[in-house]
Structures are given as structure tokens and as C-alpha cells.
């Protein structure tokens, strides 16, 4: 691990600062929107715009990189991000914010693609798994650190918009000044959605549902906190607990999933998450209970995301991983765009409990569908290995992570039954 850190620290430091900036803006907008009198319904479009931009970027940025190169795309998108983070404070209007969120989602998608291809190219087969694990951990830690900075100034002022802008600007210095050359960028093949669904119905349906869960807990958590009457410090702690829960539970759940049917793990986690959501609605706990609920939901959503990717890839040859991952991420992105809008609608109907109701419904649907799929096919052999994967990862990182996790596994059998 020390060797990996010694060779990749400029990139990891840059990613850490980027995630601090990204984590701050998501939480800050939810709080500032409430202060500015922007309704939850309007804020839902602001939050959904990020996922629309991210989805757009994942489809178009690879072509930009092939035309003008990593460095130019990286620098251009970095400048856009830094500018947008300051522009939020210029006009606190939901339409203007939605446009900015679309731009920043597009830009972050391109930045992740560039950074992950750099990391992948700079690692050997022996160090790639450790490098990607460090990358995913740094992403999580950056967002948790962002929540701590939320108490550094008044969210009604200007400073909290300046801080992430400066951090993002600094983030590009160690990356762009690194002596490591930019890698050659290989385009990712496409897989039809029909073929993808035939390959793994659970992977497709599950990724759509978990996309909705992610966008609710990561996009609407601060909006919900403002409606529920939480303080800035409590909202920051709540969002931080979501990520900490995911970080802590990823590895033990991944280890267990490599020793049995991954669908059993998906089913158990979905049932647990549904129960947590229901209990939170019934008992309306104080801040301590809410933090535990946040950690539990984060501990469900992050591993389920990785489990669904690993489960789908149990049916693949390695040459098909990137195309499959790209297709699943597109499906996940569609679910993510709808998540904030439906969450806001439920909050308008039932109050703050609508946030938990939406998460509970989606996880209950996932549990039901998983249970049904388990009656349709036998469990596949666990060939590819589990990899800890962030929701912000692109197909490049997912492919590399799964290949690394599969290094000691047997070669997949193309004739085995589908799920």
C-alpha cells in the first residue's frame, strides 16, 4: 500500500479535494435553498439536474477526450466546476441553480473519467486493486470531511460557496503537475439494453431502484433536514453518517458475498433497509436515532450498489465488463434523476416522513424482486469477485476494480445459467 500511495498520491490528493468541494455544494444547496424560500419541489429539480448532467457527461466526455486529450478536458472541466461553485451565490434561484447543477454534474463526470483512467494506467496488475481501494476510500473521506466544513461559516453568506471553489481549484494542481504522463484513452463499447436485461434482470431492475435511493439520500438529505428542523451541524452529521455507514460495511459485506449467493446479501440488506425506514417513520427518533438510521441506510445502499455490479459481472467474460458497467450506470442514472422529484412529491403529501417512505418503498421493491428472481434461476458461481465501488465511479474504474477483484478467481464459464 505504501508503494501505491507513493506513486499515486498527487491523484489521490486531488480527488480528496474534489470530493470535499462536491460534498459541500450538495449539502449547502439544500440548506441555502430553505433559507431562500425555495420549495422542496423546486429543490428536487435542482438536485435531479446534477444526475442528468452526470449522465450526459458519461456519454459525451469520452469523445471529447479522444479529440483533444486528457489534460485539456481535465483543465477545462475543472475551470467550469470552480466557476459554478461561486456562481450559486450570485442568484439564489432554482432555475438558475438547476442549470448550474447540470453543468457541474457534467463536469464532475468528465473529471472522474479522466482521473480514473489516469489511475488505472499508472497502476500495475499487482497494485491496481490497492490503488482503486485507496481511490474509493479517499472519495468517501472527502465527502465526510466536507460535512465538517459546513459549520465553518454561515450558510446564508458567501464564504461557504468560496471554500469549495478554492478547494477544487487547488485539487487540479497536484494532478496536472504530476510527472506521470496522461494515458491513451480507449473508447468503451456499448451493449444493448435488451442484451443487458437478458444477461441479468436483477442487475438492471436493481440498479434502477438503487439509483433512486442514492439520489434521495445523497441529493435530498439536506433538503429533508431543513424541513425536519435540523440545525446545520445536525444536517452535516446526518449526511456524514450516510457515507461512514457505507464505508464501514462495504468490506465485510463484500467478503461474505464472495462466499455465497450475492442475491441473498442483496435481499437481506434490502429488507434491513426497509425495516430501518419504517421504524424511523414510526418512532420519529431524535438526532442520535437519525444518525444511526443514516448510517444504516448508507450501509445498505453502497454495498447493494457494488453487489449488483458484481452479481451481473458473475455472468461475464472480462472483455464485456466495461460495456456492461456503462449500461448499468446509465440505468442507475435514469433512476437517480427521478429520485429527488418523487421524494419531494412524497414530502409534500406526507411531510418529512415522505423522505423515509420513498427509500422504504424502493428497498421493499428491491427485496420483492430479488426474492422473485431467486425462484427463477439457480445461484451463479461467484467467479468475478466483489469490488468496493463508489456510486461516483465511471465504467473505467468499475472495469478495473472488477478485474482486480477477479484476479484470483476462476475463468467464467459462458455456458452457465443466467440469474
Domains for the chain: give ranges and CATH numbers.
Answer: 2-405 (1.20.1250.20)
**What distance in Å separates the CA atoms of residue 120 and residue 397, rounded to the nearest whole number?**
7
- pLDDT tens, residue by residue, 269-303: 999 999 999 999 999 999 999 999 999 999 998 88
Average pLDDT over residues 141-157: 91
Residue 416, pLDDT above cutoff 60 = no
Spell out a b/e string for 266-288, using b for 16 or more CB atoms within 10 Å of the CB, else e.
Answer: bbbbbbbbbebbebbbeeeeeee
Average pLDDT over residues 51-69: 84
Cell triple for 228: 425536519
Grouping H, G, I as helix, E, B as strand and the rest as coil, residue 198 is helix
**What distance in Å separates the CA atoms of residue 369 and residue 373, rounded to the nearest whole number?**
6
Cell triple for 181: 504522463
**What distance in Å separates the CA atoms of residue 346 and residue 235, rounded to the nearest whole number?**
20
Q: What is the mean pLDDT of the chain?
A: 83
Alpha carbon 287 to its chain centroid, in Å, reads 25
With CA atoms as reference, report the closest residue to 286 among 358, 229, 226, 241.
229
The per-residue pLDDT for 412 is 44
Would you say 396 and 117 are in contact if contact means Cβ atoms under 8 Å apart? Answer: yes
Per-residue confidence at 68, pLDDT binned at 50, 70, 90? confident
Spell out a b/e string for 202-225, using b for 16 or more CB atoms within 10 Å of the CB, else e.
Answer: bbbbbbbbbbbbbbbbbbbbbbbb
**What distance in Å separates the CA atoms of residue 27 and residue 239, rounded to the nearest whole number?**
8
3-state secondary structure 115-181: HHHHHHHCCCCCCHHHHHHHHHHHHHHHHHHHHHHCCCCCCCCCHHHHHHHHHHHHHHHHHHCCCCC
Q: How many CA atoms lie within 13 A of 381 on its CB side?
A: 13
Lowest-pLDDT range of 106-115, 249-258, 350-359, 380-389: 380-389
**What distance in Å separates the CA atoms of residue 328 and residue 180, rounded to the nearest whole number?**
31
Amino acid at each position: 500500500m505504501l508503494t501505491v500511495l507513493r506513486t499515486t498520491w498527487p491523484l489521490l490528493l486531488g480527488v480528496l479535494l474534489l470530493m470535499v468541494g462536491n460534498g459541500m455544494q450538495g449539502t449547502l444547496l439544500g440548506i441555502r435553498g430553505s433559507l431562500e424560500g425555495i420549495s422542496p419541489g423546486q429543490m428536487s429539480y435542482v438536485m435531479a439536474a446534477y444526475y442528468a448532467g452526470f449522465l450526459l457527461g458519461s456519454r459525451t466526455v469520452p469523445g471529447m477526450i479522444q479529440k483533444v486529450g486528457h489534460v485539456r478536458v481535465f483543465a477545462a472541466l475543472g475551470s467550469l466546476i470552480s466557476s459554478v461553485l461561486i456562481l450559486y451565490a450570485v442568484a439564489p434561484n432554482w432555475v438558475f441553480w438547476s442549470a448550474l447543477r447540470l453543468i457541474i454534474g457534467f463536469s464532475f463526470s468528465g473529471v472522474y473519467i479522466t482521473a480514473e483512467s489516469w489511475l488505472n494506467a499508472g497502476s500495475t496488475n499487482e497494485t491496481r486493486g490497492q490503488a482503486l481501494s485507496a481511490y474509493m476510500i479517499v472519495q468517501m473521506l472527502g465527502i465526510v470531511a466536507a460535512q465538517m466544513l459546513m459549520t465553518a461559516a454561515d450558510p446564508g453568506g458567501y464564504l461557504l460557496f468560496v471554500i469549495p471553489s478554492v478547494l477544487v481549484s487547488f485539487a487540479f494542481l497536484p494532478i496536472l503537475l504530476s510527472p506521470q504522463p496522461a494515458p491513451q484513452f480507449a473508447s468503451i463499447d456499448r451493449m444493448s439494453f435488451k442484451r443487458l436485461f437478458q444477461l441479468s434482470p436483477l442487475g438492471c431492475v436493481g440498479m434502477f431502484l438503487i439509483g433512486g435511493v442514492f439520489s434521495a439520500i445523497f441529493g435530498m438529505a439536506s433538503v429533508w433536514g431543513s424541513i425536519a428542523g435540523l440545525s446545520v451541524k445536525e444536517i452535516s452529521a446526518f449526511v456524514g453518517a450516510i457515507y461512514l455507514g457505507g464505508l464501514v460495511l462495504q468490506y465485510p459485506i463484500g467478503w461474505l458475498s464472495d462466499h455465497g449467493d450475492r442475491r441473498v446479501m442483496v435481499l437481506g440488506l434490502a429488507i434491513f433497509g426497509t425495516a430501518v425506514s419504517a421504524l424511523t417513520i414510526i418512532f420519529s427518533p431524535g438526532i442520535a436515532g437519525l444518525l444511526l438510521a443514516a448510517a444504516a441506510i448508507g450501509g445498505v445502499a453502497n454495498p447493494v450498489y457494488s453487489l449488483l455490479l458484481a452479481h451481473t459481472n458473475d455472468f461475464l467474460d472480462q472483455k464485456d465488463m466495461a460495456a456492461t458497467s456503462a449500461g448499468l450506470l446509465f440505468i442507475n442514472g435514469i433512476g437517480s434523476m427521478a429520485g429527488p422529484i418523487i421524494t419531494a412529491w412524497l414530502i409534500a403529501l406526507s411531510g418529512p416522513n415522505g423522505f423515509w417512505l420513498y427509500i422504504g418503498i424502493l428497498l421493499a421493491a428491491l427485496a420483492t424482486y430479488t426474492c422473485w428472481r431467486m425462484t427463477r434461476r439457480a445461484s451463479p458461481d461467484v467467479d468475478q469477485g466483489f469490488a468496493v465501488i463508489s456510486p461516483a465511479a465511471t465504467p473505467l474504474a468499475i472495469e478495473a476494480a472488477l478485474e482486480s477483484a477477479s484476479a484470483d478467481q476462476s475463468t467464467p464459464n459462458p455456458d452457465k445459467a443466467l440469474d
